[in-house]
Amino acid sequence: MGIQKRSLGGWIVLWIIIAIFAVWTIFPIFWAVVTSFKYTGDAYEPTFIPWIQFKPTLQGWHFVFITAGERTLRSLRNSIVIASCSSAIVLLLGALAGYSLARFVFRTWKNKDIAIWILSNRMFPPVAVLIPYFLLMRTLRLLDSPLAIILAHTVLNLPLGVWLMMDFFRDLPRDLEDAAFIDGCSHLGAFFRIALPLAAPGLVAVYVLSFIFSWNEFIFVLVLGFNRAITIPIVIAGALTTKGLEFWKVASMSLIGVIPVVILATFVSKYLVRGLTLGAVKG
């Protein structure tokens, strides 16, 4: 009986923690939705219930889609293109490099040293390389171009892709690849035909994480893009004007910026969870 009571008490505590975490997670989204339908003056008031505590309006959404519609759509398009392309490049290069470090032994420069060097490129702050990136892109005439942002985000996220894919491939059994080699398959053929399909959850995890990091990245876009290459974070930051922070504009743009990432994560959630937990439990 005592065990059952303790078990029931444990479940109650667990559900309380889950409820608190759910409220903590969902409340900012709820607040953004409510604020996006407020007038400018009402946005500073802690009110939540429309038509009772405040009169709702489409002022914020009208500004985002009509008044500044061209800038909003351009930033949304740039964010999707930049995040998708840079994540795809990170996935391809990260899978190739990760497979090489997991399956081959390098003697002149050891695998561990190569992996640590790759990881070290992710440790220093991005601001440390802003000036070299700016000068390089200016020399290549790529300033204010989505291609410049794609290249910068690829270099920024590639260490993460390499390390994750290296761990994924290390956890895969070699038996199927050895059988493919016996049948006359090359290393590259075994990589594309055997290893990649088996590492599909890991590929999804790397792509989604790279996509999210690229989608939220701010400082490279701020320095390398001025008008044609702006993304959603830059537009949201533009809500800070001489009049102060326009919360209704921030709320509307933030919701627009969240939707694509939520849709992507929803569609691949099953593979994402499997990829993030792959190798966590070993027999």
At 170-195, the pLDDT tens digits run 888 888 888 888 878 888 888 888 88
* Over residues 41-69, mean pLDDT: 81
pLDDT value of residue 137: 92
Q: What is the pLDDT of residues 84-138, one digit of tens each?
A: 999 999 999 999 999 999 888 888 888 888 888 988 888 888 888 899 999 999 9
Contact 84, 153 (CB under 8 A): no
Handedness of CA 56, 59, 62, 65 (dihedral sign): negative
Contact 224, 144 (CB under 8 A): yes
pLDDT value of residue 241: 65
Percent of the chain clearing pLDDT 70 (strictly above): 92
Cα 205–Cα 209–Cα 215 angle in degrees, nearest 5 = 145
Superfamily of domain 68-277: MetI-like (1.10.3720.10)
* Number of neighbours of residue 172 by Cβ within 10 angstroms: 19
Please tell me the pTM assigned to this model: 0.84
pLDDT value of residue 278: 57
The helix (H) or strand (E) run that includes residue 67 is: none
pLDDT of 8 higher than 80 = no
d(CA 34, CA 49): 8
Residue 193: DSSP 8-state = I
Q: Where are the domains of the chain?
A: 1-67, 68-277
The helix (H) or strand (E) run that includes residue 177 is: helix 175-182
Q: What is the pLDDT of residues 202-220, one digit of tens each?
A: 888 899 989 999 999 999 9
* pLDDT, the chain, mean: 84
